[in-house]
Structure 1
Amino acid sequence: MPTAAERLIAFLADQGIDRAFCVPGESYIALLDALHAHPRIDLVTCRSEGGAGFMAVADAKMTGRPGVVLVSRGPGACNASIAVHTAEQDAVPLILLVGQVEKRDLRRNAFQEIDYARMFGGIAKWVGEATEPNQVPELIARGYAMAMQGVPGPVVISLPEDVLAEPCAAPVMPATIPVPAIPAPAEVARLAAMLRTAERPILLAGHAFDRPGGREALQAFAEAWNLPVAVSFRRQDLFPNNHPLYAGDLGLRNPDAQRAAFAESDLVLALGTRLTDITTQGWTWPAPGQRLVHVCAEPRFLGWLFPAEMALAADAQALIAALGAEQPAAPAAREAWNARLRAIHVADTGVRPANHNDGVAFAEVARRIGEIAAPDAIVTLDAGTFGAPFYRKVAWTPPQRLVAPLSGAMGFGVPAGVAAALRYPNRQVIAAVGDGGALMTAAEFAVAVARRAPLKLLLSDNGTYASIRIHQEMAHPGRVSGTTLENPDFVTWCSSFRVPVTRVDSNADLPALEAALAAPGPVAIVVRTSLAAVLPAPTMRAAE
């Protein structure tokens, strides 16, 4: 009779899961053995649980299926919690399988024991725990469905070591994922009438389009109805940035002209977004009095902080498909509105050439990457100031992907790049990371090197936690505390992976980026980045 572990792995394989990420632990030896006997699932061994979790999050973003990560109890689960939070913030399906203490030791403060329902209750969609083997097929099927349904997110399943190894009589269960309701025809017709008469509409696109087919559906809908499109926080790759209907993103430090224009909109159509703080510019937009239609698959996110004229608990893609039966039309005045929003966005995308004595302005690096990146390139970003120009100074065009953590989690970029390069070995994959995040999880570059995945590691070295330093200088000018880094020689460090390393110390070295990105296999690029370029003006002069 199969063990509970074997039933669990068989279920994952039946759902099309072909890869899982782990740091091995003795608490789930039975799962490792079941994977050894199941060649349909590639097991990627990582150097840290946080790195494994970030890889699973990124893989889920690539495939639309849940990312799967296996960790041991206690410290392993704690390290992986950063990925659970990232998946929740990003609306990404994730399954965290945690080897637990034996069932006789549960709730007795055993070695490395944690009550995972209490630990993850605030950031996971659901937490389950098996206490006997026949529960395992039910738990994994339920967890899979929970991760995928409604607004996707993370689930955690606690699996006692002895339960996994015991025979399981319960069969593998199918996953049942409820289909979101489609609005009634009368509601669809009402929305269509609103769209036909709006002179200054904005379509705000969110996570619901970050899945296979979503980008194409969004573009076709916007074009059919002549709607300007803004994307929610860090979802620049949902819509072609060079399209005349692209009005920009809702992110950090949006230009005043854009915020003022958006405040004039007479209809905000928010599709598949939770309307969180950054997307709403600190809960200020849509403003009271602006007409809002909010569409989200889970009712709990509707009418939460923003009263909506229409609040539809529906799948955004299903809704726009239903609107396809309506006759699109738009007032003539909308052309001027669309052109105005487009002009405001374009005005914010320029990079002013500049030379700095302390290195290269990383905006120049991002601009150059945008010019030479492959048409289907995937760029994964860590959190940090170095990444800011990738959001506004590069025009992303599907199938290009920009994969970044909405949670602002440092350490995401390199593991995410590894996952993307493993998933798409024939595409150009660039993982951009600052020196702060690099020494958190960039050791996962070893996974790409071992598997000859063609990952290009782009490392910005400015010797500081720059995001915090900028805020520090604005609040307490000249009082630097806790933000300076003493770094290793990153060229030597990258060379230790036995890969080619390109060094960029000045603007004169920027042409070397093209050859580095075109080289086969894994490559590292180390950029001596100007800190002065991002600091407030008085401090900038002192830094140089």
Structure 2
Amino acid sequence: MRSGGRILIDGLLGLGADTAFCVPGESFLAALDAIYGHHGRFRLVTCRQEGGAAYMAEAWGKLTGQPGICFVSRGPGATNAMVGIHAAYQDSTPVICFVGQVPRGFRGREAFQELDYHRAFDGIAKHVISIDDARRIPEQLNHAWQCATGGRPGPVMVVLYEDMLRDEVDVPDIPLSDLHTQARFAAAPSPAAVDRVVDLLGKSERPLIICGDSSWNQDTLVLLTRVADRHQIPVAAAFRRQDAFDNTHTNYIGELGLMVSPVLQEYLPAADLLLVIGPRLGEMTTQGYEIIPPAIGFTDQQVVHVHPGAEEMNAVFHADIAVTSTSLAFLSAMQHVSVQDAGRRMMIKSLHERYQRWVDEPVSEGQAVRMDAICSQLRKTLPAEAVITVGAGSYTSWGQRFYQYRQSGTQLGSTNGTMGYSVPAAVAAKLLRPEVPVVSFNGDGCFLMNGQEFATAVKYGLPIVFLVINNNRLGSIRNHQERHYPGHVVGTDLMNPDFARLAEAYGGRGYVVTYTEEFMPAFAAALEDKVPSIIEIRVE
């Protein structure tokens, strides 16, 4: 006989999960006790707020391709976590969020912290599952895992009734042999679909690949490099997917997002074939649905859309060929196709050279702190495997233009533009990859939305370098105000703490940069620190 809590944690271990992020709550004490019983096998990371825990789980899911796990308490704990669940949904990231619920005999009475999770998370989570019978935990846990990873990945909420977790029942786990042989629901292209894509490529004179999704890994990057090179196709990354392709490769010409290179702006409208591998083609990637027209505005530009979720096909954009497939499976099929020399190598080389000149071009000369120069120094200093995390705000444009990614799994940024993401994402990245540098980019407003997770980094001894680009304002909104309502600035000025001293108060190290030449010495020292550090960069 085992408690429901023990069955749950045994099942997670059987599925391969060994780490969870949480703020402990009384509604899942039996699960916490089961984790205690698996000391050394299952790692529980205690966070300072449920939103931070959900963001950490989302970042973990992005980096591993397996569900990031978080536990949150009922009611307020669940609503705090909602921001991270929304990020996972829009980013198509596999997450399983276990949330406590009132005892079964109290449901429907609006008991203390009771919440109808099916209604609350409708349209935010991919699916919501309630477990009210401990004997069904193995079945429904496996369902949640497959739902989170299958098709278009996403977050699944699993509701745990407090008294159900205490029930003692006799139920077997799903056999490990079955779990280990269960392939993720990975759609693959048909030979006929591949032939049709190849036929379009053979007729195309100016094709363009737009790439990137949350399931991307280094194997996918290698295959895309092979396909792009063999078929002689320039490559652009979707919004916040710059690490889907080596930015220094000859075929790369930029990112479709907030900082679109001039050469990509020029080439995209003239492209006669868009080969979209992975992205949904959301608002940010399409510049407000303008540079790529939706289904109601057909053009002569042909579109091949490759996506694992059949429900995404032709939902917004018209695809001449819609291929329901994972990016990895599609590229695996495409790499074996024989091709003729398309004669585009010199054109592609010229496109990339123009992109690189744009990246190298200084834009903030004369300022005491030049963020373009700082980001250029970082890209020349950091190894290819370094992980960069970003939140949201005008400060992100510096890294998006002047930093270049070379490996998959090195950029963590939410596509739903959520502030407060960078700090918890960096914690998850460093826990998963302690041997690589992790650098967290933050604005002053962005940092203080989840800056309390700096304490989590200190607690677990994670020497992350947090950059806080401080202009004492919510810069992105301020820019919009000044553009659309000149002279009517309101609500965007901030009063900030001394971030360097704040780091020291938490038990970390703090540095202040007021001139560009001060940055690299501070950064080098921070990389050598054995504790997390904040480098406050004071900008105009």
Counterpart mapping for 1:194-273 below 5 A:
194-207=200-213, 210-211=216-217, 213-255=219-261, 257-273=263-279
Gaps of 5+ in 2: 294-298
**Which range moved further: 477-486 or 28-37?**
477-486
State how far apart, in whole Å, the 1-side matches of 2:114 and 2:395 are.
39
**Tell me, what secondary structure is at the counterpart of 1:213?**
helix
| Structure-2 change in CA distance of 1:272 and 1:168 (3 Å) | farther
Residue 490 of structure 1, CA deviation: 1.5
State how far apart, in whole Å, the 1-side matches of 2:262 and 2:508 are.
44
Picking from 186, 193, 207, the partner of 2:192 is: 186
State how far apart, in whole Å, the 2-side matches of 1:366 and 1:472 are.
27
State the number of aligned residues: 528
Picking from 336, 345, 358, the partner of 2:355 is: 345
The answer as to whether partners of 2:500 and 2:509 remain within 8 angstroms in 1 is: no
Residue 306 of structure 1, CA deviation: 1.7
State how far apart, in whole Å, the 1-side matches of 2:522 and 2:5 are.
47
Query: 1:146 corresponds to which residue?
Result: 147
Instruction: Name the TM-score, length of structure 1 as normaliser.
Output: 0.93
- The amino acid that maps onto 1:25 is G
Query: 2:378 corresponds to which residue?
Result: 369
Matched, 1:97 2:94: no
State how far apart, in whole Å, the 2-side matches of 1:184 and 1:493 are.
56
Query: 1:81 corresponds to which residue?
Result: 82
Query: 1:420 corresponds to which residue?
Result: 429
Query: 2:287 corresponds to which residue?
Result: 281
Matched, 1:497 2:498: no
- The amino acid that maps onto 2:402 is K
Map Cα deviations across residues 81-111 of structure 1 (whole Å, 9 max, x no partner): 0110111111110000001011111122111
Map Cα deviations across residues 262-294 of structure 1 (whole Å, 9 max, x no partner): 011111111112111111222123342211111
- The amino acid that maps onto 2:220 is G
**Which range moved further: 29-38 or 475-484?**
475-484
State how far apart, in whole Å, the 1-side matches of 2:374 and 2:191 are.
50
Instruction: Name the TM-score, length of structure 2 as normaliser.
Output: 0.94
The answer as to whether partners of 2:21 and 2:70 remain within 8 angstroms in 1 is: yes
The answer as to whether partners of 1:456 and 1:522 remain within 8 angstroms in 2 is: no
**Tell me, what secondary structure is at the counterpart of 2:473?**
coil
Matched, 1:16 2:16: yes
Picking from 306, 312, 324, the partner of 1:295 is: 306
Query: 1:37 corresponds to which residue?
Result: 37
State how far apart, in whole Å, the 1-side matches of 2:380 and 2:124 are.
38
Counterpart mapping for 1:367-446 below 5 A:
367-398=376-407, 401-446=410-455
Matched, 1:462 2:474: no
The answer as to whether partners of 1:386 and 1:460 remain within 8 angstroms in 2 is: yes
Residue 425 of structure 1, CA deviation: 1.2
Map Cα deviations across residues 110-152 of structure 1 (whole Å, 9 max, x no partner): 1111110111110111101012212222221101100000111
State how far apart, in whole Å, the 2-side matches of 1:212 and 1:171 are.
37
Matched, 1:488 2:497: yes
Residue 181 of structure 1, CA deviation: 3.8
Residue 14 of structure 1, CA deviation: 1.1
**Which range moved further: 507-516 or 186-195?**
507-516
Query: 2:480 corresponds to which residue?
Result: 471
The answer as to whether partners of 1:240 and 1:246 remain within 8 angstroms in 2 is: yes
State how far apart, in whole Å, the 1-side matches of 2:46 and 2:32 are.
11
**Which range moved further: 382-391 or 283-292?**
283-292
The answer as to whether partners of 2:526 and 2:533 remain within 8 angstroms in 1 is: no
Query: 2:172 corresponds to which residue?
Result: 171
State how far apart, in whole Å, the 2-side matches of 1:179 and 1:218 are.
21
The answer as to whether partners of 1:145 and 1:177 remain within 8 angstroms in 2 is: no
**RMSD over aligned Cα atoms:** 1.8
- The amino acid that maps onto 2:363 is R
**Tell me, what secondary structure is at the counterpart of 1:511?**
helix
Residue 214 of structure 1, CA deviation: 1.9
Map Cα deviations across residues 437-484 of structure 1 (whole Å, 9 max, x no partner): 222211111122122112111111111011111101111223220001
- The amino acid that maps onto 2:230 is A
**Tell me, what secondary structure is at the counterpart of 1:385?**
coil
State how far apart, in whole Å, the 1-side matches of 2:498 and 2:460 are.
25
- The amino acid that maps onto 1:164 is L
**Which range moved further: 518-527 or 224-233?**
518-527
- The amino acid that maps onto 2:9 is I
Gaps of 5+ in 1: 532-544
**Which range moved further: 365-374 or 488-497?**
365-374
| Structure-2 change in CA distance of 1:354 and 1:507 (3 Å) | same
Matched, 1:506 2:522: no
The answer as to whether partners of 1:267 and 1:291 remain within 8 angstroms in 2 is: yes
Residue 388 of structure 1, CA deviation: 1.2
| Structure-2 change in CA distance of 1:530 and 1:178 (3 Å) | closer
**Which range moved further: 150-159 or 303-312?**
303-312
Map Cα deviations across residues 286-324 of structure 1 (whole Å, 9 max, x no partner): 342211111111111111122111111122211221223
The answer as to whether partners of 1:199 and 1:330 remain within 8 angstroms in 2 is: no
**Tell me, what secondary structure is at the counterpart of 2:44?**
strand
- The amino acid that maps onto 1:420 is A
Matched, 1:110 2:120: no
- The amino acid that maps onto 2:339 is P
Residue 344 of structure 1, CA deviation: 4.1
The answer as to whether partners of 2:93 and 2:215 remain within 8 angstroms in 1 is: no
State how far apart, in whole Å, the 1-side matches of 2:391 and 2:466 are.
11
Matched, 1:26 2:55: no
Counterpart mapping for 1:311-326 below 5 A:
311-326=322-337
State how far apart, in whole Å, the 1-side matches of 2:252 and 2:287 are.
18
Residue 339 of structure 1, CA deviation: 3.3
**Which range moved further: 9-18 or 342-351?**
342-351
State how far apart, in whole Å, the 1-side matches of 2:105 and 2:341 are.
67
- The amino acid that maps onto 1:314 is S
Residue 353 of structure 1, CA deviation: 4.5
**Tell me, what secondary structure is at the counterpart of 2:468?**
strand
